[in-house]
Amino acid sequence: MFTKINKLLHKTFFKGMVDLFDLLGVVMVLAVAWYMHFLTTPLSALHFFHGAQGYWMTTFPAVGIISTLSAVASITSTRFIAKQYNLGNWISWINVIFAGLLDFGFGNMGAWLTYPISVVTNYLPTRMTEWTENKTPKKAKWYVVCLLIVTAFLLSFGLNYLGYGLCHWPVNAVYYLASITFGLALTADVLNIFKVQEQWYFWGIYNIANFGKALTQRNFANVGKYSYYIVNSLWAMVTWAKKSK
């Protein structure tokens, strides 16, 4: 039965890009968001709208709907990237804009400084020949990766500290989690620009850290998403390593 479903999916618009594991991720996000009543979350749940009145602030589930759709888009883009489809980079680039706004709204005060960088690093792969010509994944030199890690984490902690300070927001658990996750994501994003296989090791750690951040922020759509991502990153580590030079 599963084989027949996969064959049917391969005949759709995406022409083989979508499989049952992709659909499992989407179903997981929707199920968690529904079960935890996250789908009904209104704008008043965000820090900047506490105490707001009116239907659009307290009743209409704007945050729940947008967050869940963003999580679904993130699932789709990551799966496409893992399977080396450049369409995943395009989806990721568009979605990171909405993800940044939501992250800022949920209390990551450094998001307004860090996410513009993510917009750039998610756009660049869409134009690189490594992706447009579907080239084989590369391996990075260890000293290049080490230098990239140090640079990414210094930039992450620095920008987040500046963002929190300018917003007059206390340095809290979200600050440290956001700084760690952005440092990991920036490292992986830069490696992804050049289609380097080692990015998936950083995505694996990033997914675990972001799972913790989502729990702290009570963003349950992301709790489901990052549970799935942990499995996906392990799968990508193996498949990219087999294909890399």
Domain extents for the chain?
17-243
Report residue 148 CA to chain centroid gap.
19
- Interval 27-86: pLDDT, tens: 888 888 888 888 888 988 887 787 788 888 888 999 989 988 998 999 899 999 999 999
Q: Are 160 and 113 in contact (CB under 8 A)?
A: yes
- Interval 155-188: pLDDT, tens: 999 999 999 888 888 888 888 888 998 999 999 9
Global pTM value: 0.86
Residue 200 in this model has a pLDDT that exceeds 60: yes
